[in-house]
Amino acid sequence: MEGRVAAEVIAELKRRGHQVNVVENWSQVMGSAHGIVIHPENGLRLGGSDPRSDGAAIGY
C-alpha cells in the first residue's frame, strides 16, 4: 500500500497478520484508473483521472 496511508492503519493490518508492503506515495505499481459517469436523466457527464498516470478529464 502507499505510504500515505495512516501509520495506525498499516500497524493494525500487520497486527492482524496481513503482509503489508509499503511503497512511495502515488506509485504506479498500484495501477491506475479513470472514470466517466453519465447521469441517466439529464446526460450530465462527470469524469476523473488518476494522478498516477497520463490522462485528463475534459468535456465538450
In sequence order, what DSSP letters do the residues of the chain get, joined into one string? Answer: -BTTS-HHHHHHHHHTT-----B-TT-GGG---EEEEE-TTT--EEEEE-TTSS------
Q: Domain extents for the chain?
A: 7-49
pTM of the model: 0.60
Largest distance between two CA atoms of the chain: 49
- Position 51 confidence tier, pLDDT thresholds 50, 70, 90: confident
Main-chain phi, psi angles of 18, to 5 degrees: -80, 140
* Tens of pLDDT, residues 4-29: 999 999 999 999 999 999 999 988 88
36, three cell numbers: 466517466
